[in-house]
Structure 1
């Protein structure tokens, strides 16, 4: 039977299994399918005019605007590609040296990320094809300059902010706002398919923008004092301002997604009273607020500092969150440089340590279903105190890339204690917490965006095994095989 002759009920079921890209292709196949509606559950906004234009088009569409549940704000900016080339003679169509170097580093990174893994991924063939088809560097640089000029016009007239506010009024089903500086992903492999990123020419090798400052090449946490400082997090400031003004009351989730990059909101945001802190508190207080993912940069602070985590302002802010909160995740950039003397994650000094219950008011969240902690300096006994305090509603726990204080425990010892002392094994299988642990794959080179995730092994160890069982040895054997003891 031809596809065009299928009953509508059967065709509708088939469409449910198709991706958005497949539906777009099907709409082009024939006139009969041209009216098949797209499934648009999220809209993208950034300082790029293409994203703004598409965002407004969705907001103006009487059918599509009702299906948007998430706005993703791409905070990456192209910066100034002309920086450092003042007086530079672009003779012979040669781009500035820094730009040429960045494009070469992109190609080295592609090979480097691939060589560190025995398993090759399906998308690598497509990347290889783009490497072969990449445009001349000078043309790439000119295009980057063009994109930068366009976004600078947006920064001047604020059209991205105006469009965002318009969308908040036009998307009645909106539930989540996600901010990310990682939308561009890596060369020829963007993280999100934003309209702007889909419009990039095939083979476009360019200096990947990240937007927010981070500890990529240095360990330095940016201040939160002047307007110039704060403007680096332009999207974040506008989001919490709008939500604090009670725009889009249906929004229940605020997510800062750095996708394992060493960046995020500066932890100095929590150092002193400021308007933005009050606005964030107002967001957390919203009735029915249920999810908050917070990524912070904390590198470069002297040993006597870390006041951002010890002054109580993070806890006071989180304590204002609705009792309906179901999901909390805190991530920092701590530990991105491993201890090369020992090759182990365990590091840190006692005066860096902050008890977790001094940060997380667990007792105020009786409906919590997910707790996540990534790249944080911990002690094993303190992690156990927090796990014991978690409510019975908890279903998933992520403890990834943690740095155990010297003589303060280890992942292996933590799992042993969790298995032997927590009452989780006595609960019904359907309500037992699922624990996920993330580890960097290699000590000598950090591969951003990739990691080793242990879920099935941890579940078997905690609930199905013992010291002598085959399942109970799965995680233990993995630790010994990799030297993580």
Structure 2
């Protein structure tokens, strides 16, 4: 009997399972569970290693320590295929305003030394937690015992101070440079301001977020300018030094990656993602106003790298409507995208909102603007005629005309396997979702293809009660697919989703069409029914299963 057999014999019932069954079980475990299992006996320690294909980096000290430890490990470093940079920075003095009549609960615990803005955030987050507890065991357990505002603020202040020290010394930049040299199998880099998710439901479980004490309520930072619903602000300003500082993480990552690729052309990097997870933010579109800036040069280097295949781009477009959409008309965005000649997966998400002056008084002598001022033909932005290997195309939250979308879809290559057309704002008298999916069915020829060659279609629309934190949306993909390829009915009503009413209330579609999703909560899914029905169901429904971690 070998030492391995002896170890397996002492590992209990789990170790006696057939190897194939045991391997399937172990593959389903999270790293935290594997870590505990490896500590139970030498057999599991020898046969099952931690999965560390994904690493996190940020200005937070804990993330940097873990990142460097893996980079220095001769076995684990070879597993790393993805780096996620958390660009949410803590702010020590939030500028928050609320009405003088706003009635806030005063008895929230010890507040000595805690600024008023932090107390306000504490109350708001506590209310959010209380609403989430009935639905989420994870939230309920994390906030079973709340830290007082004074205790919470001490933790927050320490995190902020650590970030400031890191930024002053560029420790995160040095760690990234070192890691790129130590991770020969790296394929994907993500920059995200959304890691902290919602209280108790982080989007990415970074080492820093994992290390936070239970019961800690703190500001859920986003890092980048965030547009609220029905607002065109904050404005995307000229791309100068002060603006670049707001996107320190993105600028740092793109600069270091581009330099690495120039010096290491054999790199396997093939995928860059700006992951906002439907938060209404992104990198500033003003990057593309002028070709003579280092960020465009760096992005050109990344996209033209041999083997580069996937780009997820999120753009902040605050108040572009009053600047004639200069960032999209400059041609620099198209020129940059044309560098990715072998791209297979592309997504563009913006935070463009409904523009009030789509309709204007034509009798006003001072009003000579053409409604076309807000319309940008899609083929003037996306060089699809050069993307011969494209398998997925996604466009979210953009101003469109139905006929232009159809013409664009007809131009996509035959390699296309999936398409997303979500949160569109249609120009006046230029179609709506009802006519769009109708013409897709009639004109694209996709319906006549073999089922395995029919492109998968994703369509999501805003709902009237959507929240910035929750990112609630309605997914009508199944209904659109049924209408396109089978005998289903058009899930939209005529004039639905046009510019007059860009936000789709649930009641505007027949009940049963679509399902409500929350971008920050994969366990959340509700049918499209009346608000009254949902509230009554929420009161009597059993607690859902615990959500799996995102990392």
Shift of 1:223: 2.4
Mapped to 1, the partners of 2:148 and 2:408 lie a distance apart of 54
Shift of 1:241: 1.7
**Structure 1 pair 82/280, CA: closer, same or farther in 2 (3 Å)?**
closer
- Could you list the runs of 5+ residues in structure 2 that have no partner in the other structure? 1-11, 97-109, 360-369, 497-503, 511-551
Count of aligned positions? 459
SS at match of 2:459: strand
SS at match of 1:294: strand
Q: Within the alignment, does 1:61 sit opposite 2:67 as a pair?
A: no
**Aligned pairs (5 A) from 1:227-266:** 227-245=241-259, 246=261, 249-266=267-284
Q: Which residue of 2 aligns with 1:385?
A: 407
Residue 334 of structure 1, aligned match among 342, 345, 352? 352
Q: Within the alignment, does 1:103 sit opposite 2:122 as a pair?
A: yes
Mapped to 2, the partners of 1:206 and 1:480 lie a distance apart of 32
Residue 456 of structure 2, aligned match among 424, 429, 434? 434
SS at match of 2:63: helix
Shift of 1:235: 2.1
Query: Quick check: 1:298–1:333 contact (8 Å CA) kept in 2?
Result: yes
Query: Quick check: 1:356–1:382 contact (8 Å CA) kept in 2?
Result: yes
Query: Quick check: 2:480–2:490 contact (8 Å CA) kept in 1?
Result: no
Q: Within the alignment, does 1:18 sit opposite 2:29 as a pair?
A: yes
Residue 461 of structure 1, aligned match among 483, 492, 499? 483
Mapped to 1, the partners of 2:394 and 2:210 lie a distance apart of 32
**Aligned pairs (5 A) from 1:144-159:** 144-159=156-171
Mapped to 2, the partners of 1:431 and 1:449 lie a distance apart of 32
Mapped to 2, the partners of 1:295 and 1:401 lie a distance apart of 14
Q: What are the Cα deviations for residues 259-282 of structure 1, in whole angstroms up to 9, with x where unaligned?
A: 111111011111122121111111
SS at match of 2:221: coil
**Structure 1 pair 447/440, CA: closer, same or farther in 2 (3 Å)?**
farther
Mapped to 2, the partners of 1:358 and 1:112 lie a distance apart of 45
Q: Within the alignment, does 1:303 sit opposite 2:303 as a pair?
A: no
Shift of 1:108: 3.4
Mapped to 2, the partners of 1:224 and 1:172 lie a distance apart of 37
SS at match of 2:160: helix
Residue 39 of structure 1, aligned match among 39, 51, 55? 51
**Large movers: runs of 4+ above 4 Å:** 7-10, 81-84, 110-114, 336-339, 443-447, 473-481
Structure 1 stretch 302-311 or stretch 93-102: which is displaced more? 302-311
Shift of 1:14: 2.9
Q: Which residue of 1 aligns with 2:302?
A: 283
- Could you list the runs of 5+ residues in structure 1 that have no partner in the other structure? 85-90, 115-119, 342-347, 466-470
Q: Within the alignment, does 1:169 sit opposite 2:169 as a pair?
A: no
Residue 222 of structure 1, aligned match among 222, 226, 236? 236
Mapped to 2, the partners of 1:480 and 1:314 lie a distance apart of 34
Shift of 1:82: 8.5
Q: Which residue of 2 aligns with 1:468?
A: none
Shift of 1:456: 1.9
Structure 1 stretch 71-80 or stretch 453-462: which is displaced more? 453-462
Shift of 1:338: 10
Shift of 1:288: 1.2
Shift of 1:211: 1.0
Q: What are the Cα deviations for residues 323-381 of structure 1, in whole angstroms up to 9, with x where unaligned?
A: x2001111111127999x9xxxxxx9531111111000000001101100011111111
Shift of 1:303: 3.0
Mapped to 2, the partners of 1:430 and 1:43 lie a distance apart of 35
Shift of 1:17: 2.9
Shift of 1:405: 1.2
Query: Quick check: 1:331–1:373 contact (8 Å CA) kept in 2?
Result: yes
Mapped to 2, the partners of 1:480 and 1:299 lie a distance apart of 24
Query: What is the CA RMSD across the aligned residues, in angstroms?
Result: 2.8
Query: Quick check: 1:50–1:196 contact (8 Å CA) kept in 2?
Result: yes
Shift of 1:133: 1.4
Mapped to 2, the partners of 1:195 and 1:461 lie a distance apart of 45
Query: Quick check: 2:493–2:508 contact (8 Å CA) kept in 1?
Result: no
SS at match of 1:128: helix
